[in-house]
Structure 1
């Protein structure tokens, strides 16, 4: 793996460390494995997934093997007033798992990867597991659960903030499967959070977990693994007018009474020529291929002919591999890095984007997007519609606030060669894109944003991510972490005195 940690960052960290007693920190960590600056594997241990954040230098990266060692690490850090952050898969888009700035103590969960499937079909999933691990073990037991497509993403953060995938319309978000959690608090104690024990903490964990403690294991319901799964991809090359009509058709399709076992998204990329966009309708139905074509006719009958069609029937695991773009569930090797910026929009069911807003958006994508040297894609992910389990959960049942969503948009732009530095025009490209959408909608449009596509430049992030739940989260934060030990750029803030 290439090293990107700069000499400047290491020098900055060295100055910061002067204010800390590193020898005492090492002594307080005791038997907990830890990597410090100057150690041979520190550069790899401190490397972010998003290389835009190369240079963030933690004071140390620890690797506990059980809850007791997690508690030891937390107490060792808080004793010196360090920010303590959990890292699961390390895929935070803004390197929250490194603390977001120099000097954090990282508690890396990768040594805690046990998964137990119980006789009743429930599962205990330690948070050092990646989604590929979860799929593999559950599948060996004939079980499955909702989750995203990338097998390398960690179960800790993914389940903390949502966890959308193509099974979510029938099973909910990954977070919705959780019925209890094992968590280590800021005072180093290990507790259970459930409906009957620390219920307020469980509520907060299901939407904002890393702000309140370090979850060592999720206890989750699982589902019988589908017998069949068919992945489909239909690709279109469209003018702006055709693209607007396609999204309108997609919205009508979403509300048409689709079977819950159907999930899909529209992925938008650069078109074949200026003034056009490419749109791929990608998804899966957890049934045989005949069911796919029958279900899709409600959409394909109302849009232009695609330039390519793909149908990939197979097993459930085949569908996970296909959608994840991998040929194995082995996630022991590092995932590929990227240098990117993202934004998100949660579109309410009650007020989808108007044709005026869609036209302005697609005009921008088809023209400025075509001229851009960035590697970009946009996704319109189907959350809502009749029968979606995501929106059947009461809005106030969890800290996750967006239970009346139609779509979540992910807007993603990488540097031209996927490596640093990230160009300034990459920020304006996506910022302007979102501004075009929001300025074309009514001023009281109640859109939101999605934390698994977190960004560090988002104004009013408290409301956009958490809506009316933020004040309650602050109250719970004050109860469980009054000294703000678990701090990172988008962590829940301790309320002012």
Structure 2
């Protein structure tokens, strides 16, 4: 439910009271039975299961990331083992309750707390293992790790790494389930491309190991749409040796003139079209009201970086910082630190679009986009647009090889606006229209990344997230979760008939 102002909040209270008058004795009895079942599932430890009426439940346990979207789960559970997760799922399913897992909680539409009222939430923060087999270099990683925890854990285990994102408060569980894009993806692919095995708790409360040889369909679905199919309690990933050296770079353009920033944006788009652009280069471009920042890493030597010629490809910057010969872990600590240490709740709206080579915007399209955002956003709205460069190893995998379909993505754009109070409908609409301008007015030709979910997609969400893979996903869902226990409004639904 979307809380826009005090009047709507009051209306919700009245509605809730009216509902209470019709709660039957059978429903109360079922809830009582479920409470006991969930408590038993965590060995009777009351600290490991919290219910909605308990003091501090919203702030201490629910912790919504997007304050525009306030949902009230039935319970938040804190299991310590796959067996406890299985018992929790079995309890909830037997009483007709929906279930969702929460890893890091950095969820733009709060689907990790259900995306609706009344869900049973499985918080996975205790699943924090990071171990590397020194013989095979396969790591066992718990879904409760944040990306920063995993980076440090793999580094301590003989200097290993996998491709992943750059926000340290993102949880491994959610990140792996949608794909896992990051700075090294152009050279090494997605996080899901390293997966060898996933331990999964199914909707019927059983635990299975999904691999290329066992539960192949489930393994395929978990790599891109996992939250709709089960709860991952452990990942086994094939690690690589850390890059020997990294060149960290930042180019900053500062100006009150949108044309100055626009010229740099156009140069960036021209650069990413170069099919010979070194795959060792990874980065993101951030556009805000008075600045444009291109930052990232080159995973090679300073001499190789110089050959890329960023200085000649881009217009003169206001400030440039280039730090060569960085150890991998130092570079990652710098990148992770820039994202903040905690998931601070905020009022915001978010949109995204996946841009393929044939759909790259023309300079005319970019001009229309820039003109719109600089003349339409209100002064109070804090907005930014991220343009992440991909291609390379990401595109070397077939779109149907995993559930993640966007293998031909060249640029992924994330549009974000935050407000001091509840984000109003007009501000949300401006953000949607800004992305539409970038798409040249043809949104149907563009996909969306499930890791940047937006409620504005409505009934198109599933097609946007999973494209031609959606039909197969729905068929697999009908086998593994026919009652849609692992349910969110934008999740995969089971095929019917």
TM > 0.5: yes
Aligned-partner Cα distance in 1 for 2:307–2:381: 37
- DSSP-derived class of the 2:494 partner: coil
- Corresponding residue for residue 317 of structure 2: 306
Please name the residue that 1:117 is paired with.
132
**Separation in 2 of the partners of 1:363 and 1:203?**
42
Residues 1:193 and 2:210 are matched in the alignment: yes
Secondary structure in 2 matching 1:279: strand
Residue 102 (structure 1) aligns with: 117
Post-superposition Cα deviations, 1:391-422, rounded to whole Å, max 9, x if no partner, equal: 1111110010011111000001111x3xx422
Q: Match for residue 167 of structure 2?
A: 150
CA contact (8 A) 1:61 1:106 kept: yes
Deviates more, 1:188-197 or 1:247-256: 247-256
- The residue that corresponds to 2:390 in the other structure is 383
Q: d(CA) in 2 for partners of 1:180 and 1:10? A: 49
Q: Any gaps of 5 or more consecutive residues in structure 2? A: 1-8, 43-47
How many angstroms apart in 2 are the aligned matches of 1:10 and 1:36?
22
Alignment of 1:38-437 (within 5 A): 38-43=53-58, 44-53=60-69, 55-119=70-134, 120-141=136-157, 142-237=159-254, 239-254=257-272, 255-271=274-290, 278-295=291-308, 297=309, 299-313=310-324, 314-326=326-338, 334-369=342-377, 371-384=378-391, 388-415=392-419, 417=420, 420-437=421-438
Q: Against the structure 1 CA distance between its residues 154 and 308, is the aligned structure 2 distance closer, same or farther, given a 3 Å change threshold?
A: same
More moved, 68-77 vs 9-18: 9-18
More displaced, 424-433 or 73-82?
Answer: 424-433
Tell me the residue number matched to 2:475.
475
How far did residue 222 of structure 1 move? Answer: 1.1
Q: Distance in 2 between matches of 1:170 and 1:9?
A: 52
Give 1:431 shift: 1.2
Partners of 1:49 and 1:57 in 2: how far apart?
Answer: 13
1:494 has 2:480 as partner = no
| Aligned position for 1:3 | none
The equivalent of 1:450 in structure 2 is 449
| 1:326, distance to aligned residue in structure 2 (A) | 5.0
SS at match of 1:395: coil
Q: Distance in 2 between matches of 1:196 and 1:129?
A: 27
Counterpart residue number, 1:28: 37
Report the TM-score when normalising by structure 2: 0.89
Contact 2:478 2:495 (8 Å CA) reproduced? yes
Say if 1:9 and 1:57, in contact at 8 Å, map to a contact too.
Answer: no
1:336 Cα shift? Answer: 2.1
Q: CA deviation at 1:243?
A: 4.5
Equivalent residues of 2:105, 2:343 under 8 A apart: no
Instruction: Provide the secondary structure at the position in 2 that maps to 1:89.
Output: coil
Q: What is the deviation of 1:453?
A: 0.7
Task: Write the distance in 2 (CA, Å) between the matches of 1:99 and 1:408.
Answer: 26
In 1: Cα distance, 2:108 partner to 2:292 partner: 24
Q: Secondary structure at the match of 1:270?
A: coil
Conservation of the 8 A alpha-carbon contact between 1:231 and 1:322: no
Contact 2:248 2:297 in 1 (8 A): yes
SS of structure 1 residue aligned to 2:87 = helix
8 Å Cα contact 2:68/2:423 also seen in 1: yes
Q: CA RMSD in A?
A: 2.5
Stretches of structure 1 lacking an aligned partner (at least 5 in a row): 1-5, 272-277
Shift of 1:10: 12
Q: Aligned-pair distance for 1:245?
A: 4.3
